[in-house]
Structure 1
Amino acid sequence: MAASVAETLDDGEAGRNGYRVPAVDKALDVLEFMASSAEPLTQTEIAAGLGRSIHEIYRILLLLEKRGYIFRTQSDRFRLSLKLFELAHMHPPVNRLVECALPVMRELTANADQSCHLVVREGQNALVVLQIDSPLPMRYSVALGSHFPILETSSGAVLLAHSNRTERDRIVERILVSGEGQGTRAEIEARLNEVSRLGYEMRASLAVEGCTNISMPVRDHTGAVIAALTVPLLPQKAARFGREAVFERTQAAAEKISAALGWSESTPSLRADPERRDYPFSD
């Protein structure tokens, strides 16, 4: 059956029209349509709902049933199985994130002479899920698994600034009520708005004197910011690279991790434009 479906693929059309694969399109249409229905569906209902003929849908349904993505009820209706759920959970989001980020972050530390860490948001906290040390004998790093109040870190500011407005407002309100001492509402909003405008945060560390945090967003396939890549830049004589080079390499690394997670190049670039007045190294 798999071979018969493959026979419907038009390789010529795929090459000319943005890699369209008609049989795959049909299969995904079927899965997405069935996912939108709370009730089992007949072959006729699926075909009608997709605006396709029963003949077009028939072989797709048989293949999906054979591969375990759907099953047939006693009343000869089709329902989604749990296979998609099982596949999604074979690679939990944080595991997938770390898997994609690890080689990129190792390359970054080697090319920047600085440590770096990857952070996700956990409620009102920033959680360190990956840490790579600088190759230099003297280095600054954070412990894997550490939690920090979200606005005590540049990573947290990047994550919060790119959250949806409802979630952002809810967390800011909790911070203000808790009295964590992270500024007034106006100060917090000004900081988050600036991060949103620039797309990153670069500022003196609130925890370590002399350290500059460079924090960039990491995006998933939808463009949503799911993590922050941060370099705590510690100036020292042994470092071969200055702040500008570290900034640019951190930005490029964030893009590379995002691309590995499915972020598309058609999404607006994370890179700063050197001609913009807000570019951090312009005069």
Structure 2
Amino acid sequence: MSMPELAGRADRAPSPAVDRALTVLERLVAADEELTLTALAKSTRIPLATCASIVYTLERRGYAARRVVGRSHFWRPTLRLYGLASQLVRKVDLSSMAQRELRALADELNMPVHIGVLDGASVVYVAKAATAGFIQFDTYPGKVSPFNLTALGRAIAAFLPEGEIEALLPRLVPGRGPSAGDSSPEAFSKLLEDVRARGYAVEDQEEQAEVACVAAPFFDADGRVAGSVGVTGFARDLAKKRRKAAAGVVRVAADVSRRLGCLSTALPPAKVVS
């Protein structure tokens, strides 16, 4: 069996040994207390001898430590993992990590493409790929908008934990555009259900006249929504390209998710409709 065929099989990891080692490491990190080798092997469903080889290797590399009490050994992870994560965080910059993809989509649609993150009840634009032209939209890195009036903010809000959504509902801002609708928590909750069902969000002349946007969420390594990718354009132009724009933001958002360590199986389904 070729490597591409093996990698494509959902029922088997390309490297079972690595898969088991990562399972043990993740279990150690997730545990609320130190684990004995027996408990670790049982909870991971890995044979005791194999589990022992893994934890002793992790200990040798500095990723695990043990405390000996009588004949029992209690295992825990070390902060070496934190050191690795810190290095990665310094390298991950949302404003530049997908700039090539943002630029390609902006050129394809002839519309600006953005990355946004949630800050309280606001969405903050952290990256932009603009198109050449006389007319430029007032969207720029650092711009702040009410989260509920932009597709960027809606795409994020739809996938927040329930408690975080409830905390945001009292902070909804009424739209000033000609298509602004009901700004009640009940109406917004229904809107978010539609976003979750599609996998992306739409805003059409609700924040301001003649402007519309489409956005899709991206997720971090823990499967938590981390931000969104969106396209902004004149409502009349975006209406003609909405299907292509939706497919584009879903694609780029999935790329960003994978770069942040999110498994593809954790991504929400996207139903691109006209």
**Correspondences of 1:141-152 after superposition (within 5 Å):** 141-152=138-149
The alpha carbon displacement at 1:226 in A equals 2.4
Runs of 5+ consecutive residues of structure 2 not aligned to the other structure: 176-182
One-letter code aligned to 1:55: A
Letter in 1 for 2:232: P
CA offsets 1:29-58 (integer angstroms, 9 cap, x no match): 332333344444454554565565553334
Equivalents in 1 of 2:190, 2:259: separation in Å? 32
1:57 counterpart residue number: 51
| Identical-pair percentage | 22
Q: Which amino acid aligns with 1:195?
A: V
| Aligned with 2:154 (options 136, 154, 157) | 157
1:27 alignment counterpart: 21
Which one has the bigger strand percentage?
A: 2
Q: Is 1:168–2:165 an aligned residue pair?
A: yes
Question: RMSD over aligned Cα, in angstroms?
Answer: 3.5
How do 1:51-200 and structure 2 match up within 5 A?
Answer: 55-73=49-67, 77-92=74-89, 95=92, 97-173=94-170, 175=171, 180-181=173-174, 183-200=183-200
Equivalent pairs counted in the alignment come to 256
Q: Pick the structure with greater CA Rg.
A: 1
Q: Deviation of residue 155 (structure 1)? A: 1.3
AA in 2 matched with 1:252: R
Q: Cα–Cα, structure 1 residues 39 and 167, in superposed 2: closer, same or farther, change >3 Å?
A: closer
CA contact (8 A) 1:233 1:243 kept: no
Query: Does 2:200 align with 1:218?
Result: no
Q: For the residues of structure 2 that align with 1:47 and 1:187, how far apart are their CA atoms?
A: 49
| 1:157 positional shift | 1.8
What is the distance in 1 between the residues matched to 2:34 and 2:211? 59
Partners of 2:204 and 2:65 in 1: CA distance: 57
How many angstroms does 1:98 deviate by?
4.1
- Name the aligned partner's letter for residue 168 of structure 1: I
Q: 1:82 Cα shift? A: 0.5
What letter is aligned with 1:171? L
Taking structure 1 as the reference length, the TM-score comes to 0.73
1:81: Cα distance to partner? 0.7
Q: Which amino acid aligns with 1:22?
A: P
SS of residue paired to 1:90: helix
| Residue in 2 that maps onto 1:8 | none
Shift of residue 66, structure 1, vs aligned partner = 2.0
Counterpart check, 1:202 vs 2:202:
yes
Please state how far the C-alpha of 1:96 moved relative to its aligned partner. Answer: 5.1
